[in-house]
Amino acid sequence: MRVIVEKNGQEVSRRAAKFFDELVRNKPNCVLGLATGSTPLGVYQEMIRMHREENLDFSLVTTFNLDEYVGLEPTHPQSYRYFMQTNLFDHINVDPWKTHVPDGMVADFESACRAYEHHIVDAGGIDLQLLGIGSDGHIAFNEPGSSLGSRTRLKTLASETVRDNARFFQNEEEVPRLAVTVGVGTILEARRCILLAIGEAKADAIRATVEGPVTAQITASALQLHREVIVIVDEGAASKLARREYYDEVEKSMLLMEAKKRLPGATRR
C-alpha cells in the first residue's frame, strides 16, 4: 500500500483528483469506480473544476458506483443515484447511459446483482476505484463479517453505519437498513484502488486497514491483498498510524522517481 498523508481534507481531494485526471487523459474510455459519502465530495468538486477549466473530457468514460440504499427511488434526495447526479454527473460531460448505480428498487435483487457484475466485466473492468471508509472499517457497504470474496448482493447495515448516516436523514429511523453493494471481491478486481479518509474519526479504521491483520471484521483491510492501492489521508485520519515516518520516506522517494520520469529524454523501462 502506498500511504500518502496530506495536511487537510482539501489537499486529500486534490491529490486524489490528480490520479483521476491522469487516467482520464491517458485513457479517455476508462472505467471509473465511484463512491458516495462526505469524503469523495471534494474529489468530485475538483473533477468538475478540471472539466470546466482544464477541459477534462468525460465523454467516453464509464462509471460504476459501489452501492445504493434499498427502497429509495433514484430521485430520493438521499439515494446515491441522486447524490451522484447532483454532486458530479450533472456538472460534467459524462454520457448518462454510461453511468451505473445499483438500483435499490428492483423486484429481483439476485439477478440485478448478477447483472451489475456482468456489466462491470463487459465494460472492461474498473480501472480506478475510489473508496471511502466507514468508522467500522467497511468499504462500500461491506460491513464487518462480510466475506472477503463477496460479490454484489444485499447487505444489512451495521448499527454503527446507520448511526453515522443518520445525519443525512430526519432521524435514525428513516435510514434504510438494507443496501445493494458490490462485494469485497468485486472491489479487489479493480486495477487500482484509492482509499480516502479525512478526520480523526477515521483514525482507528485507517490504522486497522493499513497496519492491522487482514480480517473480515475490517473489510478495508482486504486491500492489503490488492496489488495497487493508494491510501490518501489527512493528518487526523493518519494520527494513529505507527509507521507514519516510513510512509513519508517512501512518498519522498516516489515523488523523486516520478519527477525523474518527467524529465525530457527519460525513458520508461
Residue 86's SS3 state is: helix
Does 37 sit near ligand PGA (CB under 6 A)? yes
Does 134 sit near ligand PGA (CB under 6 A)? yes
Rounded to whole angstroms, the Cα distance separating 113 from 119 reads 10
Whether residue 174 lies in the annotated active site: no
Q: Rounded to the nearest 5°, which phi and psi values hold at 8? A: -155, 175
Whether residue 138 lies in the annotated active site: yes
Q: Residue 169, Cα to own-chain centre: how many angstroms?
A: 22
Q: Which three cell numbers stand for residue 65?
A: 458506483
Rounded to whole angstroms, the Cα distance separating 3 from 229 reads 9
Q: Which three cell numbers stand for residue 51?
A: 472539466
Does 42 sit near ligand PGA (CB under 6 A)? no
Q: Which of 127, 136, 164, 234 is catalytic?
A: 136
Find out whether 101 and 89 touch, Cβ atoms under 8 Å.
no
Does 86 sit near ligand PGA (CB under 6 A)? no
Rounded to whole angstroms, the Cα distance separating 166 from 122 reads 36
Closest C-alpha among 143, 165, 223, 144 to residue 189: 223
> Of residues 22, 28, 38, 86, which one binds ligand PGA by CB under 6 A?
38
* Nearest distance in Å: CB 265, ligand PGA: 42
* Nearest distance in Å: CB 109, ligand PGA: 21
Q: Which of 138, 164, 234, 235 is catalytic?
A: 138
Find out whether 155 and 138 touch, Cβ atoms under 8 Å.
no
Kind plus residue range of the DSSP H or E element containing 33: strand 31-34
Does 159 sit near ligand PGA (CB under 6 A)? no
> Of residues 33, 42, 132, 137, which one binds ligand PGA by CB under 6 A?
132
Q: Which is nearer to ligand PGA, 134 or 176 (CB)?
A: 134
Does 183 sit near ligand PGA (CB under 6 A)? no
Q: What is the DSSP string of 174-195?
A: GS-SEEEE--HHHHHTSSEEEE
Q: Which of 68, 143, 164, 235 is catalytic?
A: 143
Q: Which is nearer to ligand PGA, 98 or 203 (CB)?
A: 203
Q: Which of 6, 67, 127, 235 is catalytic?
A: 67
Whether residue 100 lies in the annotated active site: no
Q: Which is nearer to ligand PGA, 120 or 195 (CB)?
A: 195
Q: Hey, which residues are catalytic here? A: 67, 136, 138, 143
The residues that touch ligand PGA, with contacts defined as CB under 6 A, are: 37-39, 132-134
